[in-house]
Amino acid sequence: MRIDLHCHSTASDGTDTPAELVRNAAAAGLDVVALTDHDTTRGYAEAIAALPAGLTLVTGAELSCRLDGVSMHMLAYLFDPEEPALFAERELVRDDRVPRAQGMVAKLQELGVPITWEQVARIAGDGSVGRPHVATALVELGVVPTVNDAFTGDWLADGARAYVPKHETDPFEALRLIKGAGGVAVFAHPAASKRGRTVPESAIAELAAAGLDGIEVDHMDHEPATRARLRGLAAELGLLGTGSSDYHGSRKTCVLGEYTTDPEVYGEITRRATGAFPVPGTGGA
């Protein structure tokens, strides 16, 4: 059984529509795929409608959090998308995305980059606009060769010249909201140091004590030694360890199913969730 628990669609900053994502997941030989767009659940309906037979969809989201000034992402699985408190917090984070991206465009213009808001809005399309869209504009303009090269101290990394902070949820509050909506919480790429500062292991222990269910161990931004360390930490703290592609379609280089989650860990996630059930595919539209 091949299980990939972290994927993005055009509902946030992926390049596959939700329907394309589930079709591509089936074509990649996955049995289970999670749709985890940033701070939104609006890809669910399209993904469910298109879900091929033999593929199971885990509904989720990746929530933007901040702890002691460090940005971090919290994956939430199988929560009730209608639960009002978690819904309100997602709205608050999402409403901030346009002014924030516009702020980054303005800073880049001050640095002499001929970027425009129209360009970034075109790249984002229907998706909720984010830093990868601004980064893609920098690639289009020939400022940097790849999207990853835009996520550096020169351009868009946390605290970099053109960076604008966003509203992010306190992760302890996020845990409370996810649990309140019947969901399961997994700290995404906790040691992805290429993206900027990461939280210390002591904070992961505190989050574990506060109800965190798991950490993402196998992820493209973790070196093999980091994965081994995180696997040990998960065992020590009684956390589930997941593996996922963090697929973004053609925006990033990773492929669906590049890293996967152990079926036993997946089973435990589904047992703990009370907000929603995994959706079995029935053939798709």
With CB under 5 A as the contact rule, the residue among 3, 74, 129, 188 that binds Zn ion is 188
Q: Residues in contact with Zn ion, total (CB under 5 A)? A: 4
Q: Which of the ranges 98-106, 171-179, 188-196, 237-245 carries the binding residues for Zn ion, by CB under 5 A?
A: 188-196
| Residue number with CB closer to Zn ion (221 or 268) | 221
| Residue number with CB closer to Zn ion (82 or 223) | 223
Binding mask 67-106 for Zn ion (x = CB under 5 A): ------x---------------------------------
Give CA separation, 2 vs 246, 266, 281, in Å.
15, 10, 15
| Residue number with CB closer to Zn ion (116 or 148) | 148
Q: How far is the CB of 152 from Zn ion (least distance, A)?
A: 17
With CB under 5 A as the contact rule, the residue among 31, 246, 254, 273 that binds Zn ion is 246
CA atoms of 78 and 211, how far apart (whole Å)? 16
Q: How far is the CB of 75 from Zn ion (least distance, A)?
A: 8
Nearest to 169 by CA among 9, 62, 283: 62
CA atoms of 64 and 74, how far apart (whole Å)? 7
CA atoms of 33 and 46, how far apart (whole Å)? 14
Query: Is 7 near Zn ion (CB under 5 A)?
Result: no
| DSSP per-residue codes, 234-257 | HHHHT-EEEE---BBTBTSS--TT
Instruction: State the Cα angle at 19 between 41 and 34, rounded to 5°.
Output: 50
| Residue number with CB closer to Zn ion (73 or 107) | 73
E strand map for the chain: 3-7, 32-35, 56-67, 70-77, 184-187, 214-218, 240-243, 279-280
Q: How far is the CB of 176 from Zn ion (least distance, A)?
A: 20
Q: Which of the ranges 134-142, 160-168, 186-194, 233-241 carries the binding residues for Zn ion, by CB under 5 A?
A: 186-194
Q: Which residue is nearest to Zn ion (CB)?
A: 73
CA atoms of 244 and 21, how far apart (whole Å)? 14
Q: How far is the CB of 195 from Zn ion (least distance, A)?
A: 8
Q: How far is the CB of 13 from Zn ion (least distance, A)?
A: 8
CA 283 and chain centroid, separation: 27
**Residue 53 near residue 282, CB atoms below 8 Å:** yes
Nearest to 215 by CA among 90, 75, 78, 79: 75
Q: How far is the CB of 112 from Zn ion (least distance, A)?
A: 30
| Residue number with CB closer to Zn ion (4 or 62) | 62
Specify the residue for token string 């019947």.
Answer: 182
| Residue number with CB closer to Zn ion (31 or 246) | 246
Q: How far is the CB of 118 from Zn ion (least distance, A)?
A: 26
The interface with Zn ion within residues 49-68 (CB under 5 A) comprises 62
Note the residues at the interface with Zn ion (CB under 5 A). 62, 73, 188, 246
